[in-house]
Structure 1
Amino acid sequence: MSIDAHQHYWDPARGDYGWLTPEMKPLYRVFDPDDLAPLRQTTDVRRTVVVQAAPTIDETRYLLNLARKEDSIAGMVGWVPLDSPDAPAIIDKFVHDPKFKGVRPMLQDLPDDTWIEHAPLEKAIERLIDLDLAFDALIFARHIPSLIRFAERYPKLRVVIDHGAKPPIRNGIEKGWQPWADGIAQLAKLPQNHLYCKLSGLVTESAQEQNQQYDENLKPYVKHLLEQFGPQRLMWGSDWPVVNLNGSYTDWHASAKRLTSHLEKADQDAIFGANARAFYRL
């Protein structure tokens, strides 16, 4: 079964998407399961993991309500104030919903790049581990040293790197390859084999004119992620509807398929479904 390991639903009228402004015309509207259904059908994606897009408990409740009504949502990654004394109790409440699979603190948007090293309460992270929940790391290369220290501190926590740590593809290989490439290698070498990475978000990090040649421009980055994490620790995600800023669901899916077509079928199946199912306990 093909699974999209990273997509979003939202309603701007809810008012808690600080980053989503009317100027972002391709994104500034309601996106719901009816919008994604024809794209899933075209690509034969049967189920998805919906990921939070606002740092609020209310948005997590909103997505869980959608998930209860939508069979195609296999799991949901929400938001919890991990630095709050209430975090363990909030996690305990959310986990009663069987589709609640993990948390994401939106590290890329926090003013302190080292937040993950010191701010989350130990009891909150230990609660995630005890309940076998996942941790999505939304980061840039500059966050990698802090994330490494965090992962080393909690070796039993299942962590997945969103969007391949967002390489600055638009800058070109000469300017954008480092320090991203070395950071990815360092993450992949951590001893825990439950640290995964998402093959997602790369289209958005490239320039619009680059996306006229998806495969050529994305190939070095996909190749590096494959070399470092291997096909058993990568999972494909659309990052829809954010992908609409610079591409399309179907084009990115087709490109990812071509860029991994040299792999054995079992490895392709792992990237496009089996790894997400295993990692998120779907």
Structure 2
Amino acid sequence: MQRIDAHQHYWQIARGDYFWMGPHVAPIMRDVFPADLAPHLQAAGIARTVVVQAAATVAETEFMLDLADKDDSIAAVVGWIDLEADDVEATLRRLAARPKFRGIRPMLQDIDDTFDILKPKQLAALKLLPKLGLRFDALAQPRHLPVVAALADHMPDLPIVVDHAAKPFIAKGILEPWASDMAALAKRPSVVCKFSGLVTEAGPNWSVAGLKPYADHLVACFGPDRLMFGSDWPVCELAATYENWLAAAKELLAGLSPAEQDAVFGGTAARFYGIG
């Protein structure tokens, strides 16, 4: 089974559109390129990755696609578009012509209006995705889970993946209503979930024991065939090294059979993102 890291980032800060960066993320404020991640992937036995947008610009999406053209370890790119732009269809079609473009990720967590993605103009744009063979990455917080469920009901043919398990409040030890809302969302067969970002939400004092209730709930809700491992590198370095998080993920999923672990660490991502 080909091992896949289903969620990581590359960026070049001088490009100037990473507006979320600041002193609060000082440890990761450096340029990151495939050569920087390569030693971690080699040590982990991971062959391919999915590179995900980190800036709300089409220019950054094209930057990632250009990297993907030159580096075979990049299996897929998830980018960003302005869903309210008048030229949204033309932009989507242009990007979809690039061989490794697989989907979009609006930065829902940065939008004050929790229900923004359900507005008519956004929905009209999202209806284009299945027609173009594209997916939707939901950068969601717990407040968005009922909204993502409503979106899945409205567009059952739209493949949706919830990034970072919707960022539960692990550092505070809060399970509800995240747990109930995640269980409800998992009833929608078009929705899968990334087993990623948990250490960041737990903070620098994280432990496997502290992550376990959240990890166990994800496995119970989605099962291994609808979960995919992601490192969220280099963002994970705010709390853990690549190797630390990978080791924790393996420990948290040790109760799965070898075939089920293969699904989480590669098979689910390959199927969802169309990675050969």
**1:130-169 correspondence to structure 2 within 5 Å:** 130-169=131-170
Structure 1 residue 22, shift from structure 2 partner: 4.5
RMSD between aligned alpha carbons? 1.1
The aligned counterpart of 1:19 is 20
What is the alpha-carbon distance in structure 1 between the residues aligned to residue 33 and residue 210 of structure 2?
30
1:128 matched to 2:129? The reply is yes
Q: How far apart, in 2, do the equivalents of 1:15 and 1:122 lie?
A: 29
> What amino acid is aligned across from residue 50 of structure 1 in structure 2?
V
- Output the CA distance in 1 between the equivalents of 2:131 and 2:160: 14
Distance change (3 Å), C-alpha of 1:198 and 1:102: same
CA deviations on 1:98-130 (whole Å, 9 max, x unpaired) are 100000001001121110111544442221011
CA shift, 1:186, in A, is: 1.0
Name the counterpart of 1:182. 180
Partner letter of residue 183 of structure 2?
A: A
Aligned to 2:52: 51
Q: Counterparts in 2 of 1:147-226, with a 5 A limit?
A: 147-172=148-173, 176-190=174-188, 193-209=189-205, 211=206, 213=207, 215-226=208-219
- Give unmatched runs, 5+ long, in structure 2: none
State the alpha-carbon separation in 2 of the partners of residues 239 and 183 from structure 1: 23
Q: Do 1:85 and 1:121's aligned partners in 2 also have CA atoms closer than 8 Å? A: no
- Cα shift at 1:166: 0.4
The match for 1:67 is: 68
Q: Is the 8 A contact 1:12 1:20 kept in 2?
A: no
Unaligned runs of 5+ residues in structure 1 are: none
SS of residue paired to 2:200: coil
1:272 is matched with which residue? 265
> Is this contact kept in 2: 1:52–1:77, CA < 8 A?
yes
Q: How does 1:225-264 map to 2 (within 5 A)?
A: 225-264=218-257
- TM-score when normalising by structure 1: 0.95
Asked if the contact 1:88–1:123 (Cα under 8 Å) also holds between the matched residues in 2, the reply is no
1:26-49 CA distances to partner (integer Å, 9 max, x unpaired)?
Answer: 111101111100000111111100
SS at 2:193's partner residue?
A: strand
Pair 111,223 (structure 1): closer, same or farther in 2 beyond 3 Å: same
Q: Secondary structure at the match of 2:97?
A: coil
The alpha-carbon deviation at position 82 of structure 1 amounts to 1.3
TM-score by length of 2: 0.97
Q: Is contact 2:183-2:221 (8 Å) kept?
A: yes
- Give the deviation of 1:11 after TM superposition: 1.1
Contact 2:117 2:123 survives alignment (8 Å): no
Asked if the contact 2:6/2:228 (under 8 Å) is kept, the reply is yes
Deviation string 1:134-168 (CA, Å, 9 cap, x unpaired) is 10000111111222111111110000000001011
Cα distance between partner residues in 1 of 2:143 and 2:216: 21
- Residue number in structure 1 paired with 2:77: 76
Preserved CA contact (<8 Å) 2:152 2:190: no
2:4 maps to: 3
Q: Do the aligned residues in 2 keep the contact of 1:139 with 1:166 (CA within 8 Å)?
A: yes
- C-alpha separation in 2, matches of 1:197 and 1:102: 15
SS at match of 1:208: coil
Taking the aligned partners of 2:158 and 2:222, their CA distance within structure 1 comes to 17
Q: Distance in 1 between matches of 2:232 and 2:183?
A: 23
Count of residues in correspondence between the two structures: 274
Give 1:181's aligned amino acid: A
- The residue identity in structure 2 corresponding to 1:203 is V
* Distance in 2 (alpha carbons) for counterparts of 1:269 and 1:253: 14
Tell me the distance in 1 between the aligned counterparts of 2:237 and 2:7. Answer: 14
Q: Using the TM superposition, give the Cα deviation of residue 194 of structure 1 relative to its aligned residue in structure 2, in angstroms.
A: 2.6
Preserved contact between residue 17 and residue 53 of structure 1 (Cα < 8 Å): yes
* Contact 1:84-1:121 at 8 Å conserved across structures: no
State, as a whole percentage, how many aligned pairs show the same letter.
48
1:150-203 CA deviation, whole Å, 9 max, x = no partner?
Answer: 11111100000000010110002xxx111111110111012xx23100000000
DSSP 3-state at the match of 1:203: helix
Q: Which amino acid aligns with 1:67?
A: A
**What letter matches 1:227 in structure 2?**
A
